[in-house]
């Protein structure tokens, strides 16, 4: 249909949806095909009494079944924004240098989770701490259902450990907040009036070579009616930094509007409530014992190192399943 291309924006959206459907169907087909292959191999291995081949077939079947389970779980994510990418902001809280180091540890944890899922992560902005870690960091996550999964991670995360920054090796508690926003498409109408924006440019700080601190390429945008701020200093050009900052601002304004509508309708949504210190969703204890506890689902995991290396699916899936049943 030649008229399909008359509206480039609609054509782009339709092709994106088509690609998503093809990916889903392809994943289902691949999962069931792998399961059938594993079952056939297992049958042959048993006939030949080949224990090594039987063990390999069982492993293949387990992996195929896990992939199908993941697809079944993704099918449950039916919210209007669940299929979208995500914008994630991590901010250090109470705890000084320890909290800034903790914010950087959380950033790495989510980077590793993205790698495990094959999601693409792009750093948008990072404000380094005075001694270590980061005061705040913002990054985008591109992948199917990235927002649907990561919205479960929004809240306050608490770390308890022997501080590497304390000469007396005392135990410290640090906090960092994680905020997750849907990376809304351009076709979602978010009215942003130029007169409502205060745009500041400044010299970027932190690592980056000679270019950093020589040009005013970093951009901070303040939406005056709401006080919402978005900034970016990761790109080398002021134009690109402004574009990325507007992307973040757009997502935050969208989230702000959704919260306002929920309040007007008197609908309480536990996942969307404002983040407050002391209402941590998860604690990561490294001393005197080692355990990660999700306070919403009561899941406890002793392998803290694996969790900090991105093994988060059990927390995310259990929480989302519980919300779906509620």
pLDDT in tens, 305-322: 999 999 999 999 899 888
- CA–CA distance, 85 with 82 (Å, rounded to integer): 8
Residues 67 and 96 in one domain: no
Residues 240 and 91 in one domain: no
Given a cut of 90, whether residue 19 has pLDDT beyond it is: no
pLDDT tens-digit series, residues 169-221: 899 999 999 999 988 765 556 778 888 899 988 877 655 444 444 567 889 99
Output the pLDDT for position 82. Answer: 87
Output the pLDDT for position 209. Answer: 44
Residues 65 and 8 in one domain: yes
Point out the domain boundary residue: 23, 46, 76: 76
Given a cut of 70, whether residue 324 has pLDDT beyond it is: no
Residues 162 and 282 in one domain: yes
Residues 173 and 282 in one domain: yes
Output the pLDDT for position 309. Answer: 97
Closest CA to 92 of 189, 214, 197, 178: 178
pLDDT tens-digit series, residues 77-98: 777 788 889 999 999 987 789 9
Output the pLDDT for position 266. Answer: 39
- CA–CA distance, 259 with 266 (Å, rounded to integer): 10
In a domain, 186, yes or no: no
Tell whether the torsion through CA atoms of 300, 303, 309 and 312 is positive or negative: negative
Number of domain units in the chain: 3
What's the rounded mean pLDDT across residues 39-45? 80
Output the pLDDT for position 8. Answer: 65
Using alpha carbons only, what angle is made at residue 263 by residues 260 and 267, rounded to the nearest 5 degrees?
Answer: 130
Output the pLDDT for position 321. Answer: 84
* Residue predicted with more confidence, 204 or 299: 299
Residues 152 and 289 in one domain: yes
The two tokens of residue 124 are 């948008």
Q: Which domain holds residue 202?
A: 194-264
In a domain, 269, yes or no: no
pLDDT band at 16 (very low <50, low <70, confident <90, very high): low
In a domain, 172, yes or no: yes
In a domain, 119, yes or no: yes
Residues 64 and 99 in one domain: no
- CA–CA distance, 85 with 149 (Å, rounded to integer): 10
In a domain, 272, yes or no: no
Using alpha carbons only, what angle is made at residue 32 by residues 28 and 37, rounded to the nearest 5 degrees?
Answer: 145
pLDDT tens-digit series, residues 221-254: 999 988 999 998 888 888 888 888 888 888 888 8
Residues 286 and 155 in one domain: yes
């Amino acid at each position: 249909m030649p008229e399909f291309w008359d509206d480039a924006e609609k054509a782009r959206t339709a092709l994106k949806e088509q690609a998503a459907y093809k990916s889903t169907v392809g994943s289902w087909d691949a999962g069931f095909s792998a399961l059938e292959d594993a079952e056939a191999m297992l049958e042959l291995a048993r006939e030949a009494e080949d224990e090594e081949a039987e063990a390999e077939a069982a492993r293949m079947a387990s992996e195929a079944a896990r992939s199908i389970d993941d697809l079944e779980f993704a099918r449950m994510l039916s919210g209007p924004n669940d299929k979208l990418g995500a914008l994630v902001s991590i901010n250090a809280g109470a705890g000084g240098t320890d909290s800034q180091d903790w914010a950087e540890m959380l950033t790495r944890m989510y980077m590793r989770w993205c790698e495990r899922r094959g999601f693409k992560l792009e750093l948008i902005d990072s404000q380094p701490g005075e001694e270590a870690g980061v005061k705040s960091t913002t990054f985008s996550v591109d992948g199917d259902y990235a927002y649907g999964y990561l919205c479960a991670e929004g809240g306050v995360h608490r770390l308890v450990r022997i501080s590497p920054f304390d000469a007396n090796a005392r135990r410290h508690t640090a906090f960092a907040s994680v905020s997750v926003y849907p990376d809304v498409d351009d076709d979602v109408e978010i009215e942003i009036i130029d007169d409502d924006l205060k745009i500041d440019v400044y010299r970027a700080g932190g690592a980056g070579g000679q270019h950093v601190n020589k040009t005013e390429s970093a951009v901070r945008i303040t939406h005056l009616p709401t006080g919402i701020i978005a900034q970016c200093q990761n790109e080398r050009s002021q134009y690109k930094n402004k574009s990325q900052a507007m992307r973040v601002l757009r997502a935050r304004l969208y989230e702000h509007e959704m919260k306002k509508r929920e309040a007007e309708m008197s609908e309480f949504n536990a996942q969307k409530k404002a983040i407050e210190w002391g209402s941590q969703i998860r604690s990561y204890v490294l001393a005197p014992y080692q355990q990660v506890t999700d306070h919403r689902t009561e899941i406890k995991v002793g392998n803290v190192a694996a969790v900090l290396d991105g093994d988060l699916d059990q927390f995310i899936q259990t929480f989302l399943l519980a919300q779906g049943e509620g």
